[in-house]
Amino acid sequence: MPSLTSIVMLTRNALNYTKECIESVIRHTPENFEFVFVDNGSTDGTLEYLQSIPSSKLICNQENRGFAAGNNQGITAASGDYICLLNNDTVVTEGWLTRLLAWLDKDPSIGIVGPRSNNVAWAQRVNGVNYRDSREMEQFALQWALLHKDQGFFPHKLIGHCMLFPKSLVAQIGALDERFFPGNYEDDDFCLRARISGKILWIANDVYIHHYGGSTFRTNQTNYAASALDNANKFAKKWSLGISGFELDNYGYNPSDIVEREKPFRTQRHYVPFK
Q: What is the pLDDT of residues 115-155, one digit of tens each?
A: 999 999 889 999 999 999 999 999 999 999 999 999 999 99
The predicted pLDDT at position 219 comes to 53
Residue ranges per structural domain of the chain:
5-270
The predicted pLDDT at position 221 comes to 53
Per-residue pLDDT reduced to its tens digit, 258-274: 999 999 999 999 999 99
What average pLDDT score do residues 240-265 get? 95
Per-residue pLDDT reduced to its tens digit, 38-61: 999 999 999 999 999 998 999 999
Residue 80: half-sphere exposure toward Cβ, Cα within 13 Å: 28
Number of Cβ within a 10 Å radius of residue 146: 9
pTM of the entire predicted model? 0.96
The predicted pLDDT at position 2 comes to 82
From the candidate CATH numbers 1.10.8.10, 3.90.550.10, 1.20.870.10, 3.40.50.10210, the one assigned to the domain spanning 5-270: 3.90.550.10
